[in-house]
Amino acid sequence: MAAPTSGWAITQANVGLRRLGLNCTSLPAYRGPSTVPAGTTISGRLISTGLDLSSGSITIERSCIRPTKAAPGMPIVGTTNYNSMRPAAGRVIIRDSEIDGTLLDARTAAQATGFIGVADLARNYIHRLGSGIGIMNAGSELDSVIEQNYVTGLVAEGDPAKDGTHSDAFTVRDFDVSKRADRTLVVRNNRFDCDSGSDTGALFIQTYSGRIGNVLVEGNLLEGGGYQLGLNGANYPYSNVRALNNRFSGTGWGPAYLQGGKGWTRWENNHLHGDGDVRAQGAAVNHP
């Protein structure tokens, strides 16, 4: 089956394993280490633990990551070495795969994020976790392309105003371009659905842990509670952030908000999601 060409064309059937005629239970078990050595390719495996990809230069493809346990607050898959707090030194690729929280108890799933770090993620199906994809501790060297992924079925536990959880389908918390002015983060043609009941939102950019620059958000379908698209200048500045040709459900608190900083460098052709033609173009969403 061909991969979708826009976020609003994505379904569960045309990303991840199902697009390839595979499913988690049909795959042979992965027997390798959870801390994956540099230079490894894992292809066509059922992985029942979380994965530490901090060694870098790793590819995971056509695989199902369905852990039976997870550490509270930790990612299922990550690229940070938590002893040194260094990001992966080489490119990590995760494609045509599934990150599945269905075997975790409700509290553990709600506290988990499918992926945190810096990597290229393409055509993955991520579901039944507290949050989906987080670009954080991304270092200052590697580009990142997040393309044609579907994050949905997020879950929450507890009172979000106290010790409960919050959900983001996709978030960026740092992406430093001071050492490489041409470094880019491209978030294109994804479907991000954040509807756990304790939602920050579908796509949330916040300078929580570092500067953020050179981010392109294009061709995505953003759905669910909270705000579908948020830009927040928190602890550091941001620059050159662009939102082009995205679609919003308009549910929750609304399609978009801005808090702090200079705002979007470019805001063009962003609309509520509408039925009727291939563009799915409803009412225009004004620059926040």
Task: Determine the pLDDT at residue 87.
Answer: 96
Q: Which of 247, 238, 242 is nearest to 281 (CA)?
A: 247
Task: Determine the pLDDT at residue 141.
Answer: 97
DSSP code, position 102: T
Task: Cite the DSSP H helix spans in the chain.
Answer: 106-111
Task: Determine the pLDDT at residue 36.
Answer: 98
For the chain, how big is the Rg over CA atoms in Å? Answer: 18
Task: Determine the pLDDT at residue 168.
Answer: 97
Distance CA 76, CA 66 (A): 9
Residue 86, classed as helix, strand or coil, is: strand
Sheet holding 131-135, edge to edge: 51-52, 75-78, 113-117, 131-135, 167-172, 199-206, 227-232, 254-259
Cβ partners under 8 Å of residue 225, min gap 6: 194, 195, 196, 197, 199, 201, 251, 252, 253
Task: Determine the pLDDT at residue 160.
Answer: 76
Distance CA 8, CA 65 (A): 25
Question: How does pLDDT run across 198-232, given as a tens digit for each residue?
Answer: 999 999 999 999 999 999 999 999 999 999 999 99
Task: Determine the pLDDT at residue 164.
Answer: 83
Tell if the pTM clears 0.95, that is, is over it.
yes
Question: How does pLDDT run across 151-171, given as a tens digit for each residue?
Answer: 999 999 988 777 889 999 999
Q: Which residues partner with 218 through β-bridges?
A: 188, 244
What residues of the chain score a pLDDT lower than 70?
A: none
Question: How does pLDDT run across 3-14, given as a tens digit for each residue?
Answer: 999 999 999 999
Task: Determine the pLDDT at residue 34.
Answer: 98
Distance CA 122, CA 116 (A): 15
Quote the tokens at residue 161. 């105003």
Q: Give ∠ CA 76-78-84 in degrees, rounded to 5.
A: 130
